[in-house]
Structure 1
Amino acid sequence: MKLAVVGGGSTYTPELIDGFARLRDTLPISELVLIDPAADRLDLVGGLARRIFAKQGHPGKIVTTSDLDAGVEGAAAVLLQLRVGGQAARQQDETWPLECGCVGQETTGAGGLAKALRTVPVVLDIAERVRRTNPDAWIIDFTNPVGIVTRALLQAGHKAVGLCNVAIGLQRKFAALLQVTPAEVHLDHVGLNHLTWELGVRLGGPQGDNVLPKLLAEHGDAIADDLRLPRQVLDRLGVVPSYYLRYFYAHDEVVRELGTKPSRAAEVAAMERELLTMYGDPALDEKPELLAKRGGAFYSEAAVDLAASLLGNGGSPVQVVNTYNNGTLPFLADDAVIEVPARVDAAGAVPLPVPELDPLYAGLIAHVTAYEDLALEAALRGGRDRVFRALLAHPLVGQYAYADGLTDRLIEHNREHLAWA
């Protein structure tokens, strides 16, 4: 079985390689192709990837190439983990929104829109080239903003499923707190990508006992500290929001914080330089501990599980993914992309029923979905007015003066990536 990774030169990739090596019985790969236009990074990452496979006794071949068409030809699945504009663009996404008093973040708010505008056209071009050379390949999207990118892929008729590591990270955390195996923990995980809540934590499967009240009673302080939210917020809600909800629930506090410290992009860029130096060491044959601070924890395990299910090689029957709503949340259109537990097999992902949502959550989901509708329209068709409309619709912007100023800044900082600008 051949798999391809677009964005294979990412410093994330050794995490993925480690998962492929450890879980080779779940996903037996004979050839893994790492595709990236940055030849220098690709050489470093590819060398470490081969050493990881060799150390763990994986018989598969690892190929590196900058030729997308050749790299994806014959692949059963193609994983997308690219960052258009690199860390330099991320640095901009996290800084210029602050000039207007809005959150600067790479996947939500004005920065998230900028990333979507840069990314959607590139991903659609890649997917079309995959379809021309290999129409049966599954596309697994880990590229942010995952919800908008996955919707673009699905609307264009591609065989695509979106993947995020937030749910698997919480599953692993809760399993450790409960002192059970991760396989025993099922999440009532509901919402949109980077806008989700754990409404329940069940032991033994989707119909198991809900132990979330126990978790909050016994470990609420630790969970709240991880989310950087007050414990009383979790107690009053009775749910566990994803850490991205802090941008909504504590917007002004976050803006003040971001204005007084280096951006996350600057931290990551420094970390990447150190990681790439480490990757060049011929004695290194495992993912370094520093990589855990880079982000993307458990991404490899989620990716292996999803690919195995889509390719008919087993995998967990129920996984949290991004896919079409198709009536799951009745207040959204069928073609909205949601992030919920789904039954996954070779035919694709089918969302499982979810509990009726409190208006507190349903209202924000509907609001952000409306923004995502407009963001995708702006990404596909371009134009200043479409960018303005998307920003005005976003709950983290929402005022015309802010939306006007942010529109000008977004276009100015991203002109080289916007064909229409």
Structure 2
Amino acid sequence: MKLTILGGGGFRVPLVYGALLRDTHDVRVDEVALHDVDAARLDAVAHILAQLGEGRPEAPTVTATTSLDEALEGADFVFSAIRVGGLDGRTADERVALDLGMLGQETTGPGGLAYGLRTIPVALDVAERVRRLAPDAWVINFTNPAGMITQAMQGVLRDRVVGICDSPIGLGRRAARALGYAPEQTRFGYAGLNHLGWLQTLVVDGRDVLPTLLESPERLLGIEEGRLFGPDWLATIGAIPNEYLYYYYFTRDAVAAIRGSAETRGEFLLDSQTAFYEKVCAAPDSALALWTAARRNRDETYMAEARSEGEARDETDMGEGGYEGVALAIMGAIARGERASMILNVRNRGGLVGLPDDAVVEVPCTVDASGPVPLVPTQLTGHPLGLVQQVKAVEELAIEAAITGSPTIALEAFALHPLVDSVTTAEALLTGYRARIPSLDQVFR
């Protein structure tokens, strides 16, 4: 099978290739095509993959190209992890909002809207090319904001686009282990949107054991979400939120922490990854060792603004397979008919009451040769439902604005986002983003 990776010069591509190396089934990916607009980064990643597969005759062959059509031709699966505007765009996503006193974060709030607006036209072009060059391919989308981009691409490819994220499965695993259960023993009652969901039940042998965890501050403090939100707040809301909900429940704290840092997350990654790729270019024989060290540093500093000074990330969480494991499981289930269960971004189809049927939601699914099938989800009520409805309405406005090139609709999306405090601020955000990010400004031209 042929797997095409869009954003093939990206830092996390070796994680996907490493997962492929661990797949020993007769029916597996044996050809990987990397595509990126940055030839130097493509070359660096190709060196890393070559060293990962060294001495392994079963390792998938790797080709690298800056031609999108060449990469897509004949693909069985397409993994999309593109970053339109690069890390320079991400730093602008963060800084424009922070300068206005708003949350500056890659996928949540105004930064996520700016990222989505400039990415959707590119994602739609990719979808059209997949339809023409690889009509039987499945697209596995990891491009952020994942729910919004997946929904836009489904307008072209329908259900053959599936969005993935490693946050929900990581949350479920941590909650299960906090109670002494193996994750495979449990069923996660998780529902919401990408980066906006809640674990509401944790079922073992037909019994919901999540209340036991919520009643135990000591156990909660043993997992990242317990330390992030605090046992009292989790007990109050009766659920465990996705880590990204920190930016909604503790907005003022998050903004203060980010503004008080020497640099934003995007600025940190821009500096560290620029240095990394330069080192690989200078010493390609050491590419794998350089990548391993840089990856460790990147993982340890993830969401640092939400942790106390000196608090380290959970070692188990960092060591487990994340989105690359989910991607491999999807490909295996579809290609080999191996029934699997996972939390995915898929079309709602009436599953979550109160959301449109064609809205992309993040819910537990089963996957087999026919693709993902959403399970009957744990319903959202109260403030989670209201928040999800509002954010989904904003996402749909952003999709419409990107497709039509309407700055008026884009302004409406910014103004109605729950993390933007006024129409005046929304106007300043849109103006600032258009001035700082050429690829976003081009959407409206």
Q: RMSD across aligned C-alpha pairs, in angstroms? A: 2.2
* TM-aligned CA distance change 1:233 to 1:4, over 3 Å: same
Distance in 2 (alpha carbons) for counterparts of 1:91 and 1:323: 29
The count of aligned residue pairs is 417
- Aligned residues of 2:190 and 2:378 also touching (Cα < 8 A): no
Which residue among 394, 403, 410 is the counterpart of 1:380?
A: 403
- Aligned residues of 1:22 and 1:56 also touching (Cα < 8 A): no
Shift of 1:56: 5.2
- Aligned residues of 1:26 and 1:304 also touching (Cα < 8 A): no
Corresponding position of 2:39? 39
One-letter code aligned to 1:310: I
- Aligned residues of 2:178 and 2:220 also touching (Cα < 8 A): no
Equivalent runs, 1:87-236 vs 2, <5 Å: 87-158=87-158, 159-203=160-204, 208-216=206-214, 217=216, 218-223=218-223, 228-236=228-236
Consecutive unaligned residues of structure 2, counting only runs of 5 or more, are: 300-317
2:334 pairs with 1:310: yes
Shift of 1:176: 4.4
Report the secondary structure of 1:323's partner residue: strand
Which residue among 292, 309, 318 is the counterpart of 1:288?
A: 292
Shift of 1:414: 2.4
Distance in 2 (alpha carbons) for counterparts of 1:229 and 1:55: 46
* TM-aligned CA distance change 1:389 to 1:121, over 3 Å: same
One-letter code aligned to 1:209: R
2:9 pairs with 1:9: yes
One-letter code aligned to 2:292: P
Which residue among 408, 411, 415 is the counterpart of 2:431?
A: 408
- Aligned residues of 2:342 and 2:364 also touching (Cα < 8 A): yes
* TM-aligned CA distance change 1:76 to 1:405, over 3 Å: same
Corresponding position of 1:28? 28
- Aligned residues of 1:343 and 1:352 also touching (Cα < 8 A): yes
CA displacement 1:235-258 (0-9 Å, x = unmatched): 212211011111111112211222
One-letter code aligned to 2:200: L
* TM-aligned CA distance change 1:278 to 1:234, over 3 Å: farther
- Aligned residues of 1:325 and 1:334 also touching (Cα < 8 A): yes
Distance in 2 (alpha carbons) for counterparts of 1:48 and 1:83: 20
Q: What TM-score, normalized by structure 1, do the two folds share?
A: 0.92
Equivalent runs, 1:253-402 vs 2, <5 Å: 253-261=253-261, 262-276=263-277, 277=279, 280-283=283-286, 285=288, 288-294=292-298, 298-314=322-338, 316-402=339-425
- Aligned residues of 2:193 and 2:388 also touching (Cα < 8 A): yes
Shift of 1:24: 3.7
Distance in 2 (alpha carbons) for counterparts of 1:98 and 1:283: 38
Q: What TM-score, normalized by structure 2, do the two folds share?
A: 0.88
Distance in 2 (alpha carbons) for counterparts of 1:14 and 1:275: 14
One-letter code aligned to 1:420: F
Report the secondary structure of 1:34's partner residue: strand
Distance in 2 (alpha carbons) for counterparts of 1:378 and 1:189: 30
Shift of 1:182: 3.6
Distance in 2 (alpha carbons) for counterparts of 1:404 and 1:362: 27
* TM-aligned CA distance change 1:48 to 1:134, over 3 Å: same
Distance in 2 (alpha carbons) for counterparts of 1:363 and 1:200: 19
Shift of 1:77: 0.5
Shift of 1:120: 0.5
CA displacement 1:354-399 (0-9 Å, x = unmatched): 2232212111111111111111111111222111100111111142
Q: Percent of pairs identical after alignment?
A: 34
The 10-residue stretch of structure 1 (343-352 or 171-180) with the greater mean CA deviation from structure 2 = 171-180
Shift of 1:285: 4.8
* TM-aligned CA distance change 1:268 to 1:175, over 3 Å: farther
* TM-aligned CA distance change 1:327 to 1:36, over 3 Å: same
- Aligned residues of 1:112 and 1:145 also touching (Cα < 8 A): yes
One-letter code aligned to 1:2: K
* TM-aligned CA distance change 1:224 to 1:168, over 3 Å: closer
The 10-residue stretch of structure 1 (278-287 or 21-30) with the greater mean CA deviation from structure 2 = 278-287
Shift of 1:25: 2.7
Corresponding position of 2:312? none
Report the secondary structure of 1:131's partner residue: helix
Shift of 1:292: 4.3
Distance in 2 (alpha carbons) for counterparts of 1:26 and 1:229: 45
The 10-residue stretch of structure 1 (326-335 or 45-54) with the greater mean CA deviation from structure 2 = 45-54
Corresponding position of 2:313? none
* TM-aligned CA distance change 1:317 to 1:50, over 3 Å: same
Shift of 1:101: 1.8
Shift of 1:55: 4.8
Distance in 2 (alpha carbons) for counterparts of 1:380 and 1:420: 10
Corresponding position of 2:303? none
- Aligned residues of 1:227 and 1:243 also touching (Cα < 8 A): no
The 10-residue stretch of structure 1 (242-251 or 16-25) with the greater mean CA deviation from structure 2 = 16-25
Distance in 2 (alpha carbons) for counterparts of 1:292 and 1:168: 21
